[in-house]
Amino acid sequence: MATVEYNKKEAFVRASLRDSIPRYKALLIRLCAVVISLIICAFLIYSITKINPLKVYQAMFEGAFGSVRRSWITVRDTMMLLCIAVGLAPAFKMKFWNTGAEGQILVGGITTAACMIYLKSLPTWLLFICMIVSSCVAGALWGLLPAFFKAKWNTNEILFTLMMNYVAIQLTSFFVALWENPYGSNTVGVINQTGHEGWLGYMFGDNMLFGQEYSLNVIIVMTLTVLMFVYLKYSKHGYEIAVIGDSQNTARYSGISVNKVIIRTMLISGAVCGLSGFLAVSGASHTISTSTAGGRGFTAIIVAWLAKFNTFTMIAISVLIVFLEKGAVEIASQYNLNDYVSSMITGIILFFILGSEFFIRYKLIFRKRNKEVQ
Amino acid sequence: MNNDVAVSMQNITKAFGTKVVANDDVSLDVKKGEILALLGENGSGKTTLMNMLSGIYHPDSGKIFVNSQEAVIRSPKDAYDLGIGMIHQHFKLVDIFTATENIALGMKKDVSGSNKEIAKGIKDICDRYGFDVDPNQKVYNMSVSQKQTLEIVKTLYRGANILILDEPTAVLTPQETEKLFSVLINMKKDGKSIIIITHKLNEVLAISDRVSILRKGKYICTIDTKEATVMSLTEAMVGQKVELNIERNNVKNKEERLIIEHLTCLNKYGTKALDDVTFTAYGGEILGIAGISGSGQKELLESISGLHPAEEGSSVIYVKPETKEKTQLIGKTVKQIRDLGVAMSFVPEDRLGMGLVATMGMADNMMLKSYKDNRFMFTSRRDSRKLAEKKKEELEVVTPSIYTAVKKLSGGNVQKVLVGREISSDPNLFLAAYAVRGLDINTSYTIYNLLNERKENGCAVIYVGEDLDVLLALCDRIIVLCAGKLNGIVDARTATKEEIGMMMTHLNEEGEEDGNS
| Domain assignment present for A343 | no
Strands (DSSP E) contained in chain A are 13-17, 362-366
User: Which pLDDT belongs to residue A369?
Assistant: 55
CA of B378 vs chain A CAs: smallest distance (Å) = 4
Residue pair B79/B55 in contact by the 8 Å Cβ criterion: yes
Q: Residue A244 above 60 pLDDT?
A: yes
What's chain B's average pLDDT? 86
CB within 8 Å: A1 and B357: no
Mean pLDDT, chain A, rounded, equals: 87
pLDDT at B299: 92
Q: Say yes or no to pLDDT of A128 above 50.
A: yes
Is A235 in contact with B338 (Cβ distance < 8 A)? no
Summarize the confidence of residues B366-389 as an average pLDDT.
87
**Burial B205-220, CB ≥16 within 10 A → b, else e:** bebbebbbbbbebbbb
User: Is the Cβ–Cβ distance between B160 and B76 less than 8 Å?
Assistant: no
Q: How many Å lie between the alpha carbon of A268 and the closest alpha carbon of chain B? A: 16
A43 found inside a domain: no
**Given this model, what pLDDT does residue A11 score?**
58
CB contact under 8 A, B358 and A247: yes
What is the band of A263 on the pLDDT scale with cuts at 50, 70, 90?
Answer: very high
Neighbours of A301 (CB within 10 A): 18
Contact A239 B364 (CB under 8 A): yes
Confidence of residue B515 (pLDDT cuts 50, 70, 90): very low
Q: Which residues of A touch B74 (CB under 8 A)?
A: 4, 6
A138, pLDDT greater than 90 = yes
B329: confidence class by pLDDT, cuts 50, 70, 90:
very high
pLDDT at A371: 42
Backbone angles phi, psi at B31, to 5 degrees: -85, 160
Interchain contact, B367 vs A236, CB within 8 Å = no
Q: Sorting pLDDT into bands at 50, 70 and 90, what band is A5?
A: very low
Instruction: Collect all residues of chain A within an 8 Å Cβ-Cβ radius of residue B359.
Output: 242, 246
Distance (Å, rounded) from C-alpha A324 to C-alpha A345?
8
Dump pLDDT digits (tens) for B31-46: 999 999 998 877 788 8
- Nearest C-alpha in A relative to B351: A250
How confident is the model over B413-467, as pLDDT tens digits?
899 999 999 999 889 999 999 888 777 777 888 889 999 999 999 999 999 988 8
Return left, alpha or beta for B484; rule: phi > 0 is left, psi -120 to 50 is alpha, else beta: left
The proportion of chain A whose per-residue pLDDT surpasses 90, expressed as a percent, equals 53
Model confidence at B398, pLDDT cuts 50, 70, 90, reads confident
Mean pLDDT of B463-489: 90
Q: How far is CA B364 from CA B360, B432, B516, in A?
A: 6, 22, 50
> What pLDDT, on a 0 to 100 scale, did the predictor assign at position A276?
96
Inspect the interface and report whether the beta carbons of B364 and A250 lie closer than 8 Å. no
**Local confidence band at B257 (pLDDT 50, 70, 90 cut-offs):** very high
**pLDDT recorded at residue B201:** 80
With CB atoms and an 8 Å threshold, state whether B353 touches A255: no
pTM for the predicted model, two decimal places = 0.78
Total Cβ atoms within 10 A of residue B384: 23
Confidence of residue B346 (pLDDT cuts 50, 70, 90): very high
Higher pLDDT, A154 or A182: A154
B73 touching chain A per CB within 8 A: yes
Q: Which CATH architecture fits B243-343+428-517?
A: 3-Layer(aba) Sandwich (3.40)
Q: Count other Cβ atoms within 10 Å, centred on residue B339.
A: 12
Output the CA angle A267-A271-A275, nearest 5 degrees: 175
Number of domains into which chain A is organized: 1
What pLDDT was estimated at residue B2?
61
- Identical fold, B5-238 and B243-343+428-517: yes
Question: Which of B65, B378, B410, B418 to mutate to test binding with chain A, by most A CBs within 10 Å of its CB?
Answer: B378
- Comparing B158 with A370, the larger pLDDT belongs to B158
pLDDT at B504: 84
Q: Give me the residue spans of the domains in chain B.
A: 5-238, 243-343+428-517, 357-425
Residue B365 predicted with pLDDT over 90: yes
Is residue B74 within 8 A of residue B55, CB to CB? The reply is: yes
- Inter-chain touch B354–A249, beta carbons under 8 Å: yes
- What pLDDT sits at residue B509? 54
Predicted confidence (pLDDT) at residue B183 exceeds the cutoff of 80? yes
CB B262 within 8 A of CB B247: no
> What pLDDT is attached to residue B238?
80
Highest mean pLDDT among A60-74, A162-176, A181-195, B118-132: A162-176
- Judged by a CB distance cut-off of 8 A, whether residue B377 touches chain A is yes
Do the domain assignments include residue A196?
Answer: yes
The domain spanning residue A90 has which CATH number?
Answer: 1.10.3470
What pLDDT shows up at residue B18? 64
Bridge partners of A365, per DSSP, are A14
- Rounded Cα–Cα distance for residues A367 and A139 (Å): 54
Q: Which of A4, A20, A255 sits opposite B369 (nearest CB)?
A: A255
A200: containing domain: 64-313
ipTM: 0.80
In a domain, residue A366? The reply is no
CATH topology assigned to domain B5-238: Rossmann fold (3.40.50)
C-alpha angle with apex B330: B326 to B334, nearest 5 degrees? Answer: 95
Per the CB < 8 A criterion, the answer to whether B262 and B317 are in contact is no
Cis peptide bond N-terminal to A182, omega within 30: yes
